[in-house]
């Protein structure tokens, strides 16, 4: 039997290892480096590591901390050099990379303080050049970097070497790219607060490391990973320079690797076993390449686009076309909870039980409306027992001025809301006035912000015609206790979701985040659900009959070849969904969230829902106004 090629692809210009999860990938990296540390220890030698910040390396650092705590593993012979630091920024600033490294690694292991180096974001401008040269000298004096860990930005940057950086560049002061600043906006609570500059090791400095491991997780990185690995090196994508390094490797999770040719068009990489999924991907991909609906493809189209083998195996274009047309047609349903008393053999959902218990899990308010507002409405109208659970309140994304306005309103009303007396309301208002945007919120302000977002969720449900009784606000501990990029799931998170599942015993679960950055709120919510569901499956029978439907929720839609259920929306339904989304006022205009993208989230979603409908139309299906779509999760 022919096998799907999953290893060496001639399209990839560098070795790349793909792991089923970021956790597994991070453990492999952590252990590989630990092996070198141990080997050097045995020889009485030091090892020099180049370290990165950002969310990507955090699971590697966690594994090292675990090894240190549980196995007594020592880092006493490690000398470290960090890639970069924002400029100008004081070491003690809550978002400085120096502080990040203390919090995420150094404070928890036995690396001697004097062996740790992070570029200095506090140095005066006139001294910056000299300071950078000294940094280079220190690396050279330490004997050069043995292993360099890298993340990658969506611009293709490594360190803070943005597009345009030369292959020979050295440690220096640089200007940050707009996209990089936008990506950091959430950490700094707004793009305007992100420093404009940074000090970074140069590409040339990085390239001198004896070994380089570039790590990437999550779907958001998939596009740039494909460019860096499969296209000719260019200064537009600084990570592509690594192609000329003799010992560099990309370590990826499946989501970050998902746009590599070995996955998108594996038949171009080698012989494939034509599974139903691959056939569908090939045919729908071909339609988009030649811009034809499915039923108009002819043998010549297949032959000219490297799919002659598929024709040989499956007969003719005519047969293939009809088959895939039917497959796609069967994804469309106006009955997301299943159509009672109908033949369900070719439908995405089962007919029985006619009334299902449905759990919709949103990582924070608004995600549910954007991801499946139209579908929720249908499920309720069609008599299913729907529960919408919000994993977190989303209070971290509420701007201070919203909290202030709410407190002032309370004051004006003479209301003593939330157990606060008039004096303490006044105090909170005063504190908010003095607070720097980057200071952490007091507990009271977080409660106010949570109330704002949960209130918006209620208002949004009302607009959609839903009963308030179906809403649950979980306020999961990982979010209450953490902040962006530093959240951490704990036992109480799993237990909380497990309890909810055991109570509801849902026939259907809708959830997002499966392909998101594993450290994001949606990525963590998905992981918590997966673990809770697995635990229920071990001891109970009902999970065997549960269909888990994944919606996207991150300004992206599923690729058409993966869609298992497409729920069409009429113009009226789409309009109602947009009005419901608009109730999330705190997330519009001046909010830090909105600053992440040029257009607002509701606009992007409306556009995506319409675009999916247009795509179905172009492929030869009926012409709808908009479509919400789902992929069934098969564990």
Positions annotated as catalytic residues are: 162
The DSSP symbol for 124 reads -
Q: Of 54 and 373, which has the nearer Cβ to ligand F6R?
A: 54
Residue with tokens 């001697």: 112
User: Do residues 504 and 470 touch, judged by C-beta distance below 8 A?
Assistant: no
Question: Which among 54-62, 127-135, 535-543, 616-624 is the span making contact with ligand F6R, rule CB under 6 A?
Answer: 54-62
Residue with tokens 């050069």: 144
Report the alpha-carbon distance of residue 318 to residue 300 in Å, rounded.
Answer: 12
Q: How far is the CB of 380 from ligand F6R (least distance, A)?
A: 38
119 contacts ligand F6R (rule: CB under 6 A): no
Q: Which residue is nearest to ligand F6R (CB)?
A: 151
User: What's the longest Cα–Cα distance across the chain?
Assistant: 80
256 contacts ligand F6R (rule: CB under 6 A): no
For residue 627, list its beta bridge partners: 568
159 contacts ligand F6R (rule: CB under 6 A): yes
606 contacts ligand F6R (rule: CB under 6 A): no
Q: 61 is written with which tokens? A: 């650092």
**Binding characters for ligand F6R, 329-348, by CB under 6 A (x = yes):** --------------------
Q: 53 is written with which tokens? A: 């910040």
- Single residue of 68, 99, 157, 314 touching ligand F6R by CB under 6 A: 157
Count other C-beta atoms under 10 Å from residue 603's C-beta: 13
> Cβ neighbours of residue 379 under 8 Å, at least 6 residues apart?
336, 337, 358, 386
> Cβ neighbours of residue 520 under 8 Å, at least 6 residues apart?
218, 513
Alpha carbon dihedral 65, 66, 70, 75, in 10-degree steps, equals: -30
Q: How far is the CB of 127 from ligand F6R (least distance, A)?
A: 22
101 contacts ligand F6R (rule: CB under 6 A): no
User: Do residues 598 and 555 touch, judged by C-beta distance below 8 A?
Assistant: no
- Single residue of 18, 34, 47, 52 touching ligand F6R by CB under 6 A: 52
50 contacts ligand F6R (rule: CB under 6 A): no
Question: Within positions 185 to 204, which residues make up the interface with ligand F6R, using CB under 6 A?
Answer: none
Q: What phi and psi, each to the nearest 5 degrees, are found at residue 286?
A: -65, -45
Report the alpha-carbon distance of residue 370 to residue 376 in Å, rounded.
Answer: 11
- Single residue of 119, 121, 151, 374 touching ligand F6R by CB under 6 A: 151
User: Do residues 426 and 508 touch, judged by C-beta distance below 8 A?
Assistant: no
Q: How far is the CB of 66 from ligand F6R (least distance, A)?
A: 20
530 contacts ligand F6R (rule: CB under 6 A): no
Question: Within positions 66 to 85, which residues make up the interface with ligand F6R, using CB under 6 A?
Answer: 83-84
153 contacts ligand F6R (rule: CB under 6 A): yes
Q: What phi and psi, each to the nearest 5 degrees, are found at residue 332?
A: -80, 130
Q: How far is the CB of 544 from ligand F6R (least distance, A)?
A: 37
Q: How far is the CB of 584 from ligand F6R (least distance, A)?
A: 25
Q: Of 239 and 283, which has the nearer Cβ to ligand F6R?
A: 239
Q: Is the peptide bond before 353 cis (omega within 30 degrees of 0)?
A: yes
22 contacts ligand F6R (rule: CB under 6 A): no
| H or E stretch covering 588 | none
158 contacts ligand F6R (rule: CB under 6 A): yes
The DSSP symbol for 97 reads H
Question: Which among 101-109, 145-153, 380-388, 444-452 is the span making contact with ligand F6R, rule CB under 6 A?
Answer: 145-153
463 contacts ligand F6R (rule: CB under 6 A): no
- Single residue of 18, 19, 33, 55 touching ligand F6R by CB under 6 A: 55
Judged by the rule CB under 6 A, the positions of this chain that interact with ligand F6R are 52-56, 83-84, 151-153, 157-160
């Amino acid at each position: 039997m022919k096998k799907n090629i999953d290893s060496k692809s001639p399209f990839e210009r560098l070795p790349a290892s793909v792991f089923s999860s970021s956790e597994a990938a991070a453990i492999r990296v952590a252990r590989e480096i630990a092996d070198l540390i141990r080997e050097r220890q045995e020889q009485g030698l030091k090892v020099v590591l180049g370290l990165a910040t950002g969310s990507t390396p955090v699971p590697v650092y966690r594994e090292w901390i675990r090894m240190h705590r549980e196995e007594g593993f020592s880092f006493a012979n490690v000398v470290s050099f960090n890639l970069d630091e924002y400029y100008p920024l004081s070491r003690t600033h809550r978002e400085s990379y120096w502080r990040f490294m203390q919090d995420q690694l150094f404070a928890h292991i036995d690396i001697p303080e004097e062996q740790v180096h992070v570029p200095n974001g506090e140095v005066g401008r006139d001294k910056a050049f000299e300071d950078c040269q000294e940094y280079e000298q220190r690396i050279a004096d330490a004997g050069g970097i043995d292993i360099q860990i890298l993340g990658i930005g969506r611009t293709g940057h490594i360190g803070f070497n943005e597009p345009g950086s030369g292959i020979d560049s050295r440690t220096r002061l640089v200007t940050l790219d707009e996209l990089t600043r936008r990506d950091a906006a959430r950490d700094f609570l707004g793009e305007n607060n992100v420093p404009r500059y940074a000090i970074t090791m140069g590409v040339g400095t990085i390239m001198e490391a004896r070994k380089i491991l570039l790590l990437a997780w999550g779907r958001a990185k998939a596009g740039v990973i494909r460019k860096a690995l499969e296209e000719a090196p260019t200064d537009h994508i600084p990570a592509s320079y690594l192609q000329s390094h003799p010992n560099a490797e990309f370590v990826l999770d499946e989501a970050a690797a998902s746009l590599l040719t070995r996955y998108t068009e594996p038949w171009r990489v080698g012989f494939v076993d034509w599974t139903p999924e691959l056939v569908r991907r090939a045919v729908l991909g071909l339609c988009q390449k030649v811009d034809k609906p499915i039923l108009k493809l002819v043998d010549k189209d297949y032959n000219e686009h490297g799919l002659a083998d598929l024709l040989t195996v499956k007969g003719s274009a005519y047969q293939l076309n009809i088959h895939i047309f039917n497959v796609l047609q069967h994804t469309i349903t106006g009955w997301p909870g299943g159509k009672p008393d109908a033949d369900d053999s070719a439908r995405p959902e089962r007919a029985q039980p006619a009334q299902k218990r449905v759990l919709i899990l949103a990582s924070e308010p608004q995600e549910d409306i954007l991801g499946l507002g139209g579908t929720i409405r249908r499920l309720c109208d069609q008599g299913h027992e729907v529960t919408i659970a919000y994993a977190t309140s989303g209070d971290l994304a509420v701007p201070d001025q919203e909290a202030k306005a709410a407190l002032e309103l309370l004051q004006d009303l003479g209301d003593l809301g939330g157990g606060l007396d008039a004096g303490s309301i006044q105090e909170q208002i005063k504190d908010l006035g003095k607070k720097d945007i980057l200071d952490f919120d007091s507990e009271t302000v977080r409660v106010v912000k949570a109330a704002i977002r949960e209130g918006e969720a209620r208002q949004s449900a009302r607009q959609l015609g839903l009963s308030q009784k179906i809403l649950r606000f979980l306020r999961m501990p990982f979010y209450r206790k953490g902040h962006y990029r530093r959240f951490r799931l704990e036992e109480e998170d799993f237990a909380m979701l497990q309890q909810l599942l055991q109570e509801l015993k849902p026939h259907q679960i809708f959830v997002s985040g499966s392909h998101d950055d594993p450290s994001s709120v949606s990525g963590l919510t998905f992981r918590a659900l997966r673990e809770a569901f697995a635990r229920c499956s071990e001891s109970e029978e009902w999970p065997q009959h549960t269909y888990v439907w994944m919606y996207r929720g991150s300004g992206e839609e599923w690729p058409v070849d993966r869609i298992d259920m497409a729920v069409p929306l009429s113009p009226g339904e789409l309009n109602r969904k947009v009005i419901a989304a608009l109730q999330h006022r705190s997330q519009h205009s001046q909010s830090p969230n909105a600053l992440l993208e040029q257009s607002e989230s509701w606009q992007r979603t409306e556009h995506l829902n319409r675009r999916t409908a247009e795509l179905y139309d172009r492929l030869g299906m009926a012409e709808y106004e908009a479509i919400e779509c789902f992929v069934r999760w098969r564990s």
